[in-house]
Every structure is written in C-alpha cells, then in structure tokens.
Structure 1
C-alpha cells in the first residue's frame, strides 16, 4: 500500500532549522580554512579576477553539508519519514561530482575526460529517476520510450550542471542561484507534501536540500562581498548536481513537473545556450574557455561590480522560479496545466532581453 503523508511537514521544523544553521556555520568556518590553506587560482585571461585567490571552497560546502546530515540521520532518523536511499543517492551523486571538480581545481583535467565522467555518472543517477512522460498543457501526456527517457534525463543533468559551472565566473552569482534553487525546491516539497502520496519518500532528500542550502549561504559571504575564496569547480558541480538531481526526484515523487528545473535555472540556460549557439555559428571551439557569456560582457563593458551583477541574476532566477510556482498552483486551481506555456514565455522573454542587451554591450565595446 502506498503510504500517505498526513502532516504538513515531511520533517520536524526543529530538525530542518538545526541542520540549516549548523551547515551555515560550518561552511563559514571551513571556508576560512580553505582561504588559509586551499589551492590558489591564478589570474587568467578568461577570468574575472586580477589577483591570486584561493579556490575549491566547494569542498568546504560539501563537508558542511555532510556533517549535519550525518548527525541528523544518526540521531533523529526515526523522526524522518521514508527510506534513506533517495537522499543518500542524491548526496553521493553530488559529492562525486564535487570531488571530481576538486581534483580538476588542483590538477586540471582534460575537458573531454571531465565530460565523459559526468556522462557516466549522470546516466547512473538517471536510471533511478528516469522521466517517463512529458506534459505540455494541451493534449495527452507524451510517454517516452525508456531509452529516450533515460538519455533525456541524463542530458538534463549534464546541461544543468555545466550551465551552473559555466556561469560561475563572477563572485556570488552561481552560489546564490544554487541557494535560491535549493530553497525553492525544499519549500515546494514542504507545501505540497500533504497533497502528494509519494512525498513520504522525500524525507531524507529534504534534509539534504536544507543542509546544502545552509552550507551554500554560509559560504557566500566569503565569496561575496569579500571575494576571499572561490567555490571552484568542486562547488559548482556539487551544487549543480544537487539542484538538477533534486528536480528529477521531485518529478518522480509527484511534487513538481519536469519543467521545474527550467524555471529555476532559466536565466543561466538562456545565457549558456545562446552563447554556445553564437560560438558555434562563428566556428569556434566549444570546449575552449572564453569570456563571451553575457554576464562576462556585462562585467567588461557595463559594470565591473560583481555584487551588483549577482543581485541582478539572483532577481531574475527568483522571478523565474516564482513564475513556475505560480503556474503550478494557479493551473491546479483552474484545472489547466500552465507550466510548459509559462516556461516557454519566460524563455522567450529572457532570450529577447539577452539579444538586446548583448547587442548594446558589443556596440559600446566597439572603438
């Protein structure tokens, strides 16, 4: 018999609050250790910093997430509904991604080798949360042939993880987006839990999301406004894997649709995809580092302030996420699924803004 969750909270609020604040403080302390003794990222032509800066702060975020998670599961496991498999699988997936990024931060790995590792790991994770159908808000659901669903789910993971990593070139930008996304996912799970019978399975994943959000926000002051340490590939890959993996989980257990991740990361996806299209049209190597993303052009030609840029991108991601949440609940109220049409509208608006702003920035850059 499928368990039905009768209470509003998947996990007692005190456990969630304790995990969040413990992770916050741990990330701040461990982040300072990385500042003192972590690997150093030297200024590069494609970078946005002018002095050697410690990197791999993401390793502090991983540890700050893992420690409260372990304590909570060891001490209060009986108060958390559902099996622990889903939460531990998500954390393990994200941690392996983050560790691979940490190795890349220190030693440097070939781009194709990194991508191959990501493909294999994403395919393994996608096996457990393969998307089986797509709903477009009109007509019947489109049921996917299992191999197509598997490949599509893995492609989503790879695209989302690398979108966050590509956009992690300005202090605070990616860390803030990761935090906002995890908070929205956790909040949606808490609110929808009484309405979704399978939400019982998301007890441990909820603890993971909350602890990770606390760790991200605890690390943020060291990255912005202080600019004392970067999260590096370790943090971007860890955060990206958590967000994209969580989106597949909430889809699988009836909390949200497959389009949720698009709403959470729409501003990043638009910048990454349109930039890659521009580079492909110019026959440039897509694996070569560059400074052609819109946010990089903004820093170069409009405003070099990382904090002001981060606030703008955070606001865009927050608005896009709110649009997705509104479409979900309003659609339920009126009996029409508005999520895909709403996402399409968000992407069109952001794309038009991207094209207009890029043209203005390049025009300003010309002598």
Structure 2
C-alpha cells in the first residue's frame, strides 16, 4: 500500500509543479498595497490552484488502485470521509480565489468560513471523545459540534494569516502533513494517509516556485485550501483511529501559537481583530532583519520538532497530550514576549 500512496504523492507533486509554472504566466497578480504585505513587487498569486490541481490528480490516481490493495469495506468508509474532506477543502479554495481576485471584506469572509466549518462538521461528524488516563470522556454534542467547527475555523485562518513569507506557511503545513501521515500509517488508515501524502506532494510542487525565490504565491486560495485540508484531515484521522484531539494541535502548534498569541496581544492592547496588521512574530522578525528563507527554515524546524512530539504522544494518548500542550503554550508565550521586547528595544515598531 505504501508504495502506491507514494506514487500518488509523486503524481500530485509533478502535476502541481507543471500547473504552478503555467499559472506564473496566466494567473492573477498580487500587488503589495496593504500594510500587512511583506513583499514589494507584484507577484503571481494563483499557486493555490496549482496545489489543488496536484492534490486532485494524486487522489484520483490513488482512487484507481487503493480498492485493489485494501479491503473493500475499509476503502468504502474511508472514501466517503475523503470525498467529504476534499469537497469542503475545495469550497474554501473557491472563497480564497474569489478573494484573490475581488477582495472580500473581513466580516463576509469570516461568516463564510464559519458557515462552511459548521457544515463540514455536520457532514463529517463532530469530535467528542477525549482520552484521559485510562478513560475516554465524551463531550456533549453541542459542545463537540462547536469545538470541531472552531478547530476548522481557526486552522483555516491560522494558515492564511501565516502565509506572508516565502515558504513559511505552505512548508510548515507540509511538515505537519508528514506527521499526520506517519500517524495514519501507524494506525492503519489508508485514506487518511492518502490525503496527507498527496497534500505533501502538491505542496512540494508549489514550493519549487515559491521558496526561496517567491516567483509564485499561494494566495488566499492556497492558504484556505491547505488550511481546511489540514483541519479536515486531522478530524478524519481522529474519527478513524481514535487519536486524541489534542495531537493535531500539538503538530501544528508553531502556526497556531503565533496566531493565537498575537491575537491575544492585540486584544490586550485593545486593537481591532478585524483590521490588517503586521504584529505576528514572523513579521517582527522580518522587520528585525531576518530573511524570508531564514524565518521559513526556523518555523520548519519548529514544526519538525512539534510533529515528532505529536507522533510520540499519539502512542500514549491518555496523558501525554494533556501534559505536552500546556508546556508548549507556556513556551510560546515566553518566546513571544522576548521577541516583542527585543523588537521594542530595537525600535522595529508594530509590536
């Protein structure tokens, strides 16, 4: 099975690579007119379409071979969840592409995100089981529904907010997919593994043009598609393998921490959460003199560490995630405070 899935990932990578090259010449252009933009020159911003095409090609190729190597009842159940996951990810892609070309308002986007997140949760089913020690505790349905939809909403926005330096968000999520794929393989979930590795392949095809040169951006279409795919794949793996719901949060922690700590900082300073800004840690580091490549590699390293931690704690779902996540949250707050104080002393501004 694993060789076939890697073959699908290779098809995804090649398709994405070719599609992205075409889109550099044919796609819409991102012009740096907003304060939060970290680039200076107009740049093609349709890379998300190339990523989505690559992912679709890989999944369709695998759809032809998986039923021949995996029991039919397993592929049928997995195929249903895979289809739902992909459908909602492509719905987010369409919103992102419309925003790339027509500039949707923040409130409209958030309303659409929330509606899609709730609809996806109802379609896939909410996550309500939380292993703790030797017990499994179940959340009430309404709370599970709200929590699962919130996870999708937060992940989509987190990837979108962090997609401001070449390679940072897309490479980081790719590493997260590798960790999720390792868990899916260890827990014998072929459909989940297929999603993860085809996503990795599609991202690699895009990153060839994006990192470090920045010849092509993913755009909102790519950020929303990949953010939704990561969130929904996490839910799929949780529901298929009884994985602790805390593990995906650990895997994607570097992205989530930057966004959530920054939002908390803005609330503390009584700044609007709907206004564009440049107060994320990675944006402060850019103003402090680090290159896009250096920042991306730093986040990739952090993602690799968190992905490893996520894989390890997934093998002890009872207690380990509940211990690891608070420690990581504390470290994120400390790092944020240190970076902001350093930036303030250097007069970087915007903190």
Common fold by TM > 0.5: yes
Gaps in structure 1 of 5+ consecutive residues:
1-11, 194-201
Contact 1:188 1:255 in 2 (8 A): no
Contact 1:328 1:337 in 2 (8 A): no
Deviation, 1:75, is: 5.1
| Equivalent of residue 43 in structure 2, options 40, 43, 53 | 53
Distance 1:149 1:92 in 2: 22
Greater shift, 148-157 or 125-134, is seen at 125-134
The normalised TM-score by structure 1 is 0.89
Q: Which residue number corresponds to residue 43 of structure 1?
A: 32
**Count of residue pairs the alignment pairs up:** 342
Deviation, 1:122, is: 1.0
Change (3 A) 1:25 1:286: same
Contact 1:90 1:205 in 2 (8 A): no
Deviation, 1:255, is: 4.8
Change (3 A) 1:153 1:52: same
The alignment partner of 1:17 has SS state of helix
Q: How does 1:200-211 map to 2 (within 5 A)?
A: 202-211=189-198
Deviation, 1:21, is: 0.9
Distance 2:191 2:104 in 1: 33
The alignment partner of 1:135 has SS state of strand
Contact 1:34 1:57 in 2 (8 A): yes
Root-mean-square deviation (Å)? 1.7
Change (3 A) 1:235 1:243: same
Distance 2:279 2:132 in 1: 33
Moved over 6 A (4+): none
The alignment partner of 2:314 has SS state of helix
Q: How does 1:104-115 map to 2 (within 5 A)?
A: 104-115=99-110
Contact 1:129 1:249 in 2 (8 A): no
2:121 is equivalent to residue 126 of structure 1: yes
Deviation, 1:300, is: 0.5
Greater shift, 98-107 or 348-357, is seen at 348-357
Q: Deviations over 1:283-310 (max 9, x none)?
A: 222111111111101001231x111100
| Equivalent of residue 62 in structure 1, options 32, 41, 52 | 52
| Equivalent of residue 82 in structure 2, options 70, 84, 87 | 87
Q: Deviations over 1:68-93 (max 9, x none)?
A: 32233135533344211011111111
Change (3 A) 1:366 1:132: closer
2:254 is equivalent to residue 258 of structure 1: no
Q: Deviations over 1:82-126 (max 9, x none)?
A: 211011111111111112101110111111111111111111111
Contact 2:96 2:224 in 1 (8 A): yes
2:207 is equivalent to residue 220 of structure 1: yes
Q: Which residue number corresponds to residue 289 of structure 1?
A: 276
Deviation, 1:131, is: 1.4
Contact 1:192 1:255 in 2 (8 A): no
| Equivalent of residue 339 in structure 1, options 321, 327, 330 | 321
2:158 is equivalent to residue 171 of structure 1: no
Distance 1:182 1:300 in 2: 29
The normalised TM-score by structure 2 is 0.93
Distance 1:266 1:208 in 2: 20
Change (3 A) 1:230 1:350: same
Contact 1:59 1:99 in 2 (8 A): no
Contact 2:66 2:75 in 1 (8 A): no
Distance 1:89 1:46 in 2: 33
Gaps in structure 2 of 5+ consecutive residues:
none
